[in-house]
Amino acid sequence: MAEIKKTKRVYFNELKEIVKDNKELIEFLNHEIELLDKKANSKAPSKTQIENENIKKIIVAVLTESDKPLTITEIQNSNNSLVELSNQKMSALLTQLINENVVVRTIEKKKAYFSICQ
């Protein structure tokens, strides 16, 4: 069985048990744990993630306007800002939308079609 790797938080908590009589060391370890919590909560979206969110909004708008399911190429051709994107990037963004339950993927004759979830 594989051994689970210990994190800094686990080590700090173990050290607190060892040095429980030393108030100064306990305060230091508590401070370090607080810094870990602060770092974990401060992750802002990257520039690319923000751009991808805007692209996904355009994709949703295109699919909403369409009365039939569309292929990736049809989605790209229906909006000038999507034409420059690769099929792979479009596929990745559509997969994210599928995972968010915004878009549904159907396959007809070995071809993938995308539409808005009902």
pLDDT tens-digit profile of 81-109? Answer: 899 999 999 999 999 999 999 999 999 99
CB distance 71 to 107 below 8 Å: no
- 38 pLDDT band (50/70/90 cuts)? confident
What pLDDT score does 2 carry?
A: 64
CB distance 36 to 9 below 8 Å: yes
What pLDDT score does 7 carry?
A: 85
| pTM for this prediction | 0.64
The single-letter DSSP state of residue 22 is -
pLDDT tens-digit profile of 5-32? Answer: 888 888 888 999 998 898 899 999 999 9
